[in-house]
Amino acid sequence: MPMPEVTATAPGKIILFGEHAVVYGQPAIAAPLQAVQTRAIVRPGRAGGGVYIVAANLGRTIFVSPDPVEGEHALATAARLLLRRVAPPWPDLDILLHSTIPIASGLGSGAAATTALLRGLSLMLGLPSDPDTLNPLVFEIERLHHGTPSGIDNTVVVYERPIFFVKGSPIETFCIGQPIHLLVGDTGVASPTHLTVGDVRALFEADPARLTPIFSEIGAIARAARNAIEAGDSAALGPLMAANQRLLRDLTVSSAELDRLLQAASRAGALGAKLSGGGRGGNMIALIEPDSRSSVSEALLAAGAKQVIHTVLQPEARPTCLPS
């Protein structure tokens, strides 16, 4: 009997506080961005044809070789990691990947593509697809992309919930006291994360005594932000975002395009704004009151944003999060 077709998705993500410093052990806060996502459709392929990944956004068809091939695409490596968990021979499969997450723009497109692929393939192969199983696999693939990722991208994308993340520590979720309204503005400038992470590493190695306090200050901001979010004090988040952005500028990861969007958001009434992700391009986030959604959104578009997404971090109805 032919196997049925399966579909799996994975969301994008935003980093609210703490990018870059998180690579050096400081805490960071991230949340899934469900408005953009990667979808994987896994279906039986041509008999004897093997396993193929059709990555629509990359305009590439990637063959998954049974043995590693030098220079192969990380998605092929990811698929093989899973396929090797079933007894041979491998089934013939076509895996279609389609994403609405802009590439190299701080929204976790790489982690989402790997997660959707591994989720879909796990479902098709009858393997476990729960977050605890998938997260270490997606992290392994992130390491191929970035070299020294903190693990924040794969964790927030795989678990699909807001997280307070410390590299190497178990996943920590937290309660959101009041809805937090954000606009996510895209500069349209692609900026691969491994380059900004590498540049910050070079700065750190050249002058650790100057960089270490910057990372610590960013960590302190992330901790203060978590307290404010839990207390439902969204207004306190604005100045914390501005302070985080100043420190990111010191790390040289802002850019003229980002600064233009940040300034436009602030002038139009945003409570705070900062870049999100690796920086030097990609996306920024602005904290807004629901009333100023259209004015800030229009200001961002007028200042050159290629896309603006509204997202709300909602309080959860978990028992531990309910007011006593």
User: For residues 119-148, which are near ligand PMV according to CB under 6 A?
Assistant: 146
Does position 280 interact with ligand PMV (CB under 6 A)? The reply is no
User: For residues 94-113, which are near ligand PMV according to CB under 6 A?
Assistant: 106, 108
Please give the structure tokens belonging to residue 224.
């203060």
3-state helix, strand, coil in the chain (%, to 5): 45, 25, 35
Does position 154 interact with ligand PMV (CB under 6 A)? The reply is no
Please give the structure tokens belonging to residue 17.
């506080």
Tokens 């850019």: give the residue: 255
| Segment interacting with ligand PMV, rule: CB under 6 A, options 19-27, 223-231, 239-247, 288-296 | 19-27
The neighbouring-strand residues paired with 44 are 93
Annotated catalytic sites, by residue? 153
Nearest to ligand PMV of 62, 197 (CB atom): 197
Nearest to ligand PMV of 52, 215 (CB atom): 215
Q: Does an H or E element contain 240, and which?
A: helix 237-250
Q: Are 22 and 278 in contact (CB under 8 A)?
A: no
Does position 115 interact with ligand PMV (CB under 6 A)? The reply is no
Residue from 11, 238, 277, 281 binding ligand PMV (CB under 6 A): 277
Residue from 11, 149, 185, 219 binding ligand PMV (CB under 6 A): 149
Q: Is 306 helix (H, G, I), strand (E, B) or coil?
A: coil
Nearest to ligand PMV of 15, 134 (CB atom): 15
Report how far residue 26's alpha carbon sits from residue 15's, in angstroms, rounded to the nearest whole number.
13
The values of phi and psi at residue 68, to 5°, are: -55, 140
Q: One symbol per residue from 168 to 207: x for binding ligand PMV (CB under 6 A), - otherwise; what is it?
A: -------------------------x---x----------
The values of phi and psi at residue 70, to 5°, are: -60, 135
Nearest to ligand PMV of 42, 277 (CB atom): 277
Does position 245 interact with ligand PMV (CB under 6 A)? The reply is no
CA distances from 132 to 154, 155, 280 (A): 11, 9, 32
Nearest to ligand PMV of 32, 277 (CB atom): 277
Kindly give the interhelix angle for 109-125 and 74-83, rounded to the nearest 10 degrees: 30
Residues that bind ligand PMV (CB under 6 A): 15, 19-20, 22-23, 106, 108, 146, 149-150, 152-153, 193, 197, 277-278
